Amino acid sequence: MSERRQQPRQHGGPRGMMAGDKAKNFKGTVAKLIRYLKPYYVQILFILIFAVGSTVFSIIGPKILGSATTKLAEGLVAKYTNTGGIDFDAIKKILLTLLAIYVASAVFNYLQGWIMAGVTQSVTYHLREEISQKINRLPLKYFDKQTHGEVLSRVTNDVDTVSQSLNQAVHQVFTSVISILGILYMMLSISWKLTLMALIVVPLSGMAAAFVVSHSQKYFKAQQATLGNVNGHIEEMYGGHIVMKAFNGEERSISEFNELNQKLYESAWKAQFISGTMQPITSFIGNLGYVGCCVLGGYLAVHEGLAIGDIQAFISYVRNFNQPITQTAQIMNVLQSTAAAAERVFEFLEEAEEVPDDPNPLSIRDENGALKLKGNVTFEDVRFGYDPDNIIIHQFNAYIRYGSTVAIVGPTGAGKTTMVKLLMRFYDLNGGHIYVDGKDITRLKRHDLRDAFGMVLQDAWLHSGTIMDNIRYGRTDATDEEVIAAADAAYVDHFIRTLEDGYQTVINEESTNISQGQKQLLTIARAFLSNPKILILDEATSSVDTRTEVLIQKGMENLMKGRTSFIIAHRLSTIRNADMILVMDHGDIVEIGTHQELLDKNGFYAQLYNSQFEEAAA
């Protein structure tokens, strides 16, 4: 068992921003986002130019179309009064002009959409790249405080929210404002009386929209929260379905799912129903204004000589006037979500726990870039605790000569696995020093330090891909022949060749199409391929049968020749031939010696060793 503290798992799957979530510092986050967009200012300028052009052309369209209607009406009147006829040439020119304007509007709209898509995807790409780099620079203690879902949510949901919102908001903010001002100007140019009639209903629409949004918001938030719980429950049951079935947990699982599903149903239908009423309510109010404009327009046409084409154009403007107002209200909500998502992303990127490499690191490579290490390891007064107030390793001291095989034994919780994590600088010490070939590991680049190690952990990890790719993970530039040689040295080549697709067999996402012991053998082959200077085996044979364990031990003996090797083992029979055995208890080394020396002392190690045989005999 690993001694690393396990954090309690939070119920519920990863979730991003919920509808209605707001940034703690809206202005500050927007300012950061604007600064982040600085490399794209030129593209954004063209986006705005094209958006303005498209909007302006679409606004003047109805006015021009109205002049065509006026010409047609005047021609009909002249024809019936025998004073002239319809001027089709003039109408043709107006319609061709109108066609050109609408084509130009469509082209501008297409161009701004194309450029905007490029900008948002580029921003998304760089945000994810920076988050990925940040993850690699953060110490593991940061992830002890965060659930995996929380971190993944920032990489996926929050970045996607920023991307999608930017794509909508940047040009819509300007087009909506320009549309409102432009339409208002065109309406005033036709008739201030009609404009006043149209504006009467605007506050009513705004109040209705605000009322609907305020009442639907809480249900949207409840919907997202419950959806996260449903996803989390399904993920847990799917991942542990064998255990769930073994303990007859089907009914409990279904009961819990039904309860969560019912909550999701209740919040979802309320959210969708209430938000769905916005369109018919605002449309009804808008139609009232539309009817009023029609009646007043008829009156003005008869008594004040308002042109029929102007009435037609005005009615078109009235129908289009509410749309940008509604869009503006929606955009403000979108901007809140954007700022909230961006704030979470920037908080992660600005996380202060990052521990950088030494600005003037010591080199452990030769002029060709190869590692130049022997493998001497020194622990000097090492103190460490996952919580600084709860130190679990006290004054640890040891010197390991290169090429030695060192076994670390002790009961669960003694600090065995913690020691190797400190050695690879997964965690920084609370006190003391660790040296590799006399160099303090804090003065080395993490990449160089970890390149010197090969690890086989008790939790065999394989990624989704072929067996060849998983073994090659130990050294990405290895040839197929080198991969096969490593597999052969780990006594896994024969098993691989019995598979239908051999080395090209695809391991599924959960690695359930091969056994736990076979997974362990593949990770051992991966360690062979990496050809490390220092080898760490953390319960490397804990998941294999006795016959396979014997084969692995033979392969390990060849692998460990000339290398410093740390073996963490609970089965003490596997480390009899170790050059040194460090016996740990409660974070301290209580005994040091060879297997026989420690048995002769008849101390703590002897008790551990004999207890295993007593359990086996029982």
pLDDT digits (tens, 9 = 90+) for 73-97: 777 877 777 777 777 888 888 889 8
Report how far residue 238's alpha carbon sits from residue 150's, in angstroms, rounded to the nearest whole number.
20
- Predicted local distance difference test score (pLDDT) of residue 289: 80
User: Binning pLDDT at 50, 70 and 90, where does residue 107 land?
Assistant: very high
Cβ–Cβ contacts within 10 Å for residue 500, how many?
6
The predicted-structure confidence for 244-259, as pLDDT tens digits, reads as follows 887 788 888 889 889 9
Contacts of 568 (CB under 8 A, 6+ apart): 407, 408, 409, 416, 417, 420, 536, 537, 538, 539
Mean pLDDT computed over 40-46? 88
Six token digits for residue 539: 């319960």
Please tell me the distance from the alpha carbon of residue 25 to that of residue 293, in angstroms, as a whole number.
Answer: 43
What's at 529, amino acid-wise?
Answer: L
Q: Quick one: fold of 459-531?
A: Rossmann fold (3.40.50)
At residue 19, the pLDDT reads: 42
Query: Are 455 and 567 within 8 A, CB to CB?
Result: no
- If one looks up domain 38-191+306-349 in CATH, what number appears? 1.20.1560.10
Q: What number is the average pLDDT over the span 296-307?
A: 83
Whether 355 and 35 have beta carbons less than 8 Å apart is answered as: no
Provide mean pLDDT across the span 22-46.
81
CA pair distance 597, 212, nearest whole angstrom = 80
Residue 362 above 90 pLDDT? no
pLDDT value of residue 221: 73
Q: Which CATH class is domain 373-452+534-556+566-618?
A: alpha beta
What residue type is assigned to position 31 of the chain? Answer: A
- Look at residue 542 in the predicted model and tell me its pLDDT: 58
> Does 290 score more than 90 pLDDT?
no
Q: Is the Cα dihedral 488, 492, 495, 500 positive or negative? A: negative
Q: Which pLDDT tens digit goes with each residue over 194-247?
A: 888 888 877 887 787 778 777 777 787 777 678 777 877 887 787 777 778 877
Reply yes or no on whether the pLDDT at 329 is more than 50: yes
Instruction: Using the predicted structure, report yes or no on whether residue 431 has a pLDDT greater than 60.
Output: yes
pLDDT for position 3: 39
Taking residues 137-166, report their average pLDDT. 75
Q: What is the pLDDT of residue 474?
A: 85
Strand (E) or helix (H) holding 201: helix 192-239
Q: How confident is the model at residue 548 (pLDDT cuts 50, 70, 90)?
A: low
pLDDT confidence band for 544 (50 / 70 / 90): low
Confidence of residue 16 (pLDDT cuts 50, 70, 90): very low
**What confidence category does residue 1 fall into, taking pLDDT thresholds of 50, 70 and 90?**
very low
- pLDDT for the residue numbered 180: 84
% of the chain surpassing 70 pLDDT: 87
pLDDT at site 352: 66
- Per-domain boundaries in the chain: 38-191+306-349, 373-452+534-556+566-618, 459-531
- Average pLDDT over every residue of 145-164: 74
| C-alpha closest to that of 213 among 160, 281, 161, 163 | 281
Q: What is residue 435's predicted lDDT score, i.e. its pLDDT?
A: 92
Range with lowest mean pLDDT among 72-86, 96-110, 417-431: 72-86
pLDDT at 98: 86
| Per-residue pLDDT at 13 | 39
pLDDT in tens, 436-451: 988 998 888 888 888 8
Residues 172-191: tens digit of each pLDDT: 777 888 888 888 888 888 88
Give the C-alpha separation, 314 to 94, whole Å: 18
Supply the DSSP string of 556-583, one letter for each residue. HHHHHTTSEEEEE-S-GGGGTT-SEEEE
pLDDT digits (tens, 9 = 90+) for 465-479: 898 998 998 888 889
How many Å from the N-terminal Cα to the C-terminal Cα in the chain?
Answer: 23
459-531 shares the fold of 373-452+534-556+566-618: yes
Q: What percent of the chain has pLDDT over 90?
A: 3
Per-residue H/E/C for 293-306: HHHHHHHHHHHCCC
Q: What is the pLDDT of residue 511?
A: 64
Give the global pTM: 0.65
What is the C-alpha to C-alpha distance for residues 354 and 138, in angstroms, rounded to an integer? 5
Which of 85, 93, 207, 232 is closest to 153 using CA atoms?
A: 232
- Taking the C-alpha atoms of residue 189 and residue 616, their distance in angstroms, rounded to an integer, is 98
pLDDT value of position 6: 37
pLDDT of residue 20: 44
pLDDT of residue 258: 92
In Å, how far are 87, 91, 572, 577, 589 from 595, measured between CA atoms?
Answer: 111, 105, 9, 7, 15
* Mean pLDDT, the chain, integer: 79
Give me the amino acid identity at 389.
D
**Cα gap 375→372, rounded to integer Å:** 9
- State yes or no: pLDDT of 464 exceeds 50: yes
Q: pLDDT of 478-527, one tens digit each?
A: 899 999 988 888 878 888 898 888 899 888 766 667 777 778 788 888 88
Q: Which pLDDT value is given to residue 199? A: 84
Q: Is residue 456 helix, strand or coil?
A: strand
pLDDT tens-place string over residues 567-607: 887 777 667 788 888 888 876 778 888 888 999 998 888 88
Type of residue at 51: A
